[in-house]
Chain A
Amino acid sequence: MITFDHVSKHYAGHDGPGAVHDLSLEIPSGEIVVFVGPSGCGKTTSLKMINRLIEPTSGTISIDGEDTRKRDPNELRRSIGYVIQAIGLFPHRTVAENVATVPHLDHWDKQRIDTRVNELLELIGLPPRDYAKRLPAELSGGERQRVGVARALAVDPNIMLMDEPFGAIDPIARERLQNELLRLQQVVRKTIVFVTHDIDEAVKLGDRVALLSAGAKVEQYAPPAELLARPATPAVTAFLGEARLVRRLALIHLRDVRLQPVNGSAPKTTVAIGGTLRDALDAVLRSPDGTVAVVDGDRVAGVVDGTVIRLASQ
């Protein structure tokens, strides 16, 4: 667990309440917590105070109850994975050497490093036979970002800090990387602090979302579904924007929805029961008569129409 206790950061020579003003927050172990908010609201500053790339002006950050100031900053950073938007792979080192950075700093023996590097490259879907010896310049943007993630995972840290890691990547590759991160998280179960200014990304990835406004003021700290269903302040409503309820549909699984029974012959348009209400809405809009059959393999589980969606979303 990471705890912010009345943490503030004032940059020297800057007036006003500060980049981060009196932030108190608890980040539970094994969860993805997303910091989301408008540009300049203090997301990056808050994140970098966790691994002491930035030192707080006042307040305390502790990890599992221990004040991070008690730890050597370099040793602390080696124990926390760190991924940034610009990635910052070492251009003069191969993919394998990049991934081996922290194990190397921690003086692992060569055998162990090799094994670990291969394992990680497999994990992120870049077969070592093809990729280990390449230089970062010989990778696509998405591949580089995945190597950045592998590098951060190298010594199996409990905590990962990710600052807009997918910000510079096209929407399709970005969605794939998001899915991969979720899949990876099923396996590795890290405490992940993830910064983004994209609310859709926040809602998709976060077990909890901290919506921040200027000075890293916490407007609401809640699971995504709750954030979308019950915005706590006008600032949250404003940030979520017009499409708040449509966004929320993506969080509701069809399995949890009360469907209408099939009446006569099932509608031609179908949606798989593994999908969400958002998929169902898309199908309803496509359907000639506005009704859609929810199918579970060959079986029709029920029917969805506009009314079902509206009732389920409330």
Chain B
Amino acid sequence: MSVAAVTARGTRRLSLSWLRLFAVPAAVGIGIAASFGVFQTLAPGPADSGVLNSTFLESRFVGHLALSFISFGIVALVGVPLGVLIAIGARPFRVLVFLLANLGQAVPGIGILVLLYAWLGLGAEPTIIGLVIFGLLPVLRNTVAGINGVDPAVIESARGMGMTRLQALLSVEIPLASALIFAGLRTTLVLVIGTATLGNFIGGGGLGDVIASGINRSDRIVLVGAVMVAALALLADWALSLVERAVVPKRISA
């Protein structure tokens, strides 16, 4: 292939990727503007001034960020290594962990939170624990699928050239599984940000408080709360996709 062709291909990919890079924030901006239009058409309610002020919204927004990101951080730090261990570990161990993780996700989020409330009382901690239980499965499942999906010939050649088990994992298997691992992380991140609204039920704070205080009283409040959650989820997923682009090796299909 000629140098010119390579460059042309490179530039085209670059401009396309710039477009893609800002598509999500642009769409979020348009969405927010559109919701503002909707907002104007809704009738104001008596509670609006108590909720729709910057102090309250900001505190709940920051609370929501904290709930989601702490939970997500824990899921990522626990889920990926645990998934790798499951993938390379013995079968009975794998079955047990998946049973528990499946259980965690099969039970409705609200159910988990109520159980945790009965056990730990009100507050942010039980909310975070609930979110972690709820978000673990996608990360586990994708990490295991990613590691198990690596071409056995690649692993055999890695070991055959004298890589230790750990070297093969770190420099071959995990990088090759990273696209799937990131897909799991992104699923979980969105899941956790959405589910964190349930924290309202057990005093966890967050944007759930905003939405709840508008229910049956003010459509304007509900709209603001819902739009903030949705925008946060979309932007967080977008931010994680940027990390993914930086971390996941390009074109890993041979």
- CB-based contact A84/B153 at 8 Å: yes
In the complex, which residues of chain A have a beta carbon less than 8 angstroms from the beta carbon of B253?
91, 137
Given the contacts A92-B176, A135-B254, A137-B254, A87 and B157 also touching, CB distance less than 8 Å: yes
A-B pair number, CB within 8 angstroms: 73
Is A293 engaged at the interface, CB distance under 8 Å to the other chain? no
Given the contacts A84-B153, A88-B158, A90-B158, A105 and B163 also touching, CB distance less than 8 Å: yes
Across the interface, name the chain A residue whose C-beta is closest to B165.
A74
- CB-based contact A51/B160 at 8 Å: yes
Across the interface, name the chain A residue whose C-beta is closest to B248.
A92
In the complex, which residues of chain B have a beta carbon less than 8 angstroms from the beta carbon of A88?
151, 153-158, 160
Tell me how far the C-beta of A254 lies from the nearest C-beta in chain B, rounded to whole angstroms.
41
**CB-contacts of A197-217 with B (<8 A):** none
Is A75 engaged at the interface, CB distance under 8 Å to the other chain? yes
Given the contacts A88-B151, A105-B167, A135-B251, A78 and B161 also touching, CB distance less than 8 Å: yes
**CB-contacts of A36-88 with B (<8 A):** 51, 53, 74-79, 82, 84, 86-88
- CB-based contact A92/B162 at 8 Å: no
In the complex, which residues of chain B have a beta carbon less than 8 angstroms from the beta carbon of A51?
160
**CB-contacts of B96-153 with A (<8 A):** 151, 153
Is B5 engaged at the interface, CB distance under 8 Å to the other chain? no
Please tell me the size bucket of the interface on A.
20 to 34
Kindly identify which residue among B153, B155, B161, B251 contacts A102, using a CB–CB cutoff of 8 Å. B161
The complex places the Cα of A148 from the Cα of B157 at a distance, in Å, of 9
* Interface-centre pick from B151, B158, B161, B167 (highest chain A CB count, 10 A): B161
- CB-based contact B162/A75 at 8 Å: yes
Given the contacts A82-B157, A87-B153, A92-B175, A77 and B162 also touching, CB distance less than 8 Å: yes
* Interface-centre pick from A74, A90, A136, A137 (highest chain B CB count, 10 A): A90
Given the contacts A88-B154, A91-B253, A105 and B160 also touching, CB distance less than 8 Å: no
Is B217 engaged at the interface, CB distance under 8 Å to the other chain? no
Is B252 engaged at the interface, CB distance under 8 Å to the other chain? yes
In the complex, which residues of chain A have a beta carbon less than 8 angstroms from the beta carbon of B160?
51, 53, 77, 82, 84, 88
- CB-based contact A136/B159 at 8 Å: no
In the complex, which residues of chain B have a beta carbon less than 8 angstroms from the beta carbon of A118?
none
Is B164 engaged at the interface, CB distance under 8 Å to the other chain? yes
**CB-contacts of A169-222 with B (<8 A):** none
* Interface-centre pick from B159, B160, B250 (highest chain A CB count, 10 A): B160
Across the interface, name the chain A residue whose C-beta is closest to B176.
A92
Is A292 engaged at the interface, CB distance under 8 Å to the other chain? no
- CB-based contact A74/B163 at 8 Å: yes
In the complex, which residues of chain B have a beta carbon less than 8 angstroms from the beta carbon of A86?
151, 153, 156-157
Is A101 engaged at the interface, CB distance under 8 Å to the other chain? yes
- CB-based contact A92/B161 at 8 Å: no
Given the contacts A91-B176, A91-B254, A137-B254, A101 and B161 also touching, CB distance less than 8 Å: yes
**CB-contacts of B144-200 with A (<8 A):** 151, 153-164, 167, 172, 175-176
Is B81 engaged at the interface, CB distance under 8 Å to the other chain? no
Kindly identify which residue among B156, B162, B249, B250 contacts A84, using a CB–CB cutoff of 8 Å. B156
Per-residue CB proximity of B231-254 to A under 8 Å, as 1/0? 000000000000000000111111
Kindly identify which residue among A78, A87, A92, A152 contacts B252, using a CB–CB cutoff of 8 Å. A92
Given the contacts A91-B252, A91-B253, A92-B175, A74 and B164 also touching, CB distance less than 8 Å: yes
Kindly identify which residue among A78, A91, A135, A148 contacts B162, using a CB–CB cutoff of 8 Å. A78
Tell me how far the C-beta of B4 lies from the nearest C-beta in chain A, rounded to whole angstroms.
15
Residues of B within 8 A of A (CB): 151, 153-164, 167, 172, 175-176, 249-254
15 contacts between A and B (CB under 8 A): A77-B160, A77-B162, A82-B157, A84-B156, A84-B157, A86-B157, A88-B158, A90-B158, A90-B172, A91-B151, A92-B249, A101-B161, A105-B163, A137-B251, A152-B161
Given contacts A91-B176, A92-B250, 10 further A-B contacts (CB under 8 A): A74-B163, A77-B161, A84-B153, A84-B160, A86-B151, A88-B155, A88-B156, A88-B158, A89-B154, A91-B154
Residues of A within 8 A of B (CB): 51, 53, 74-79, 82, 84, 86-92, 101-102, 105, 135-137, 148, 151-152
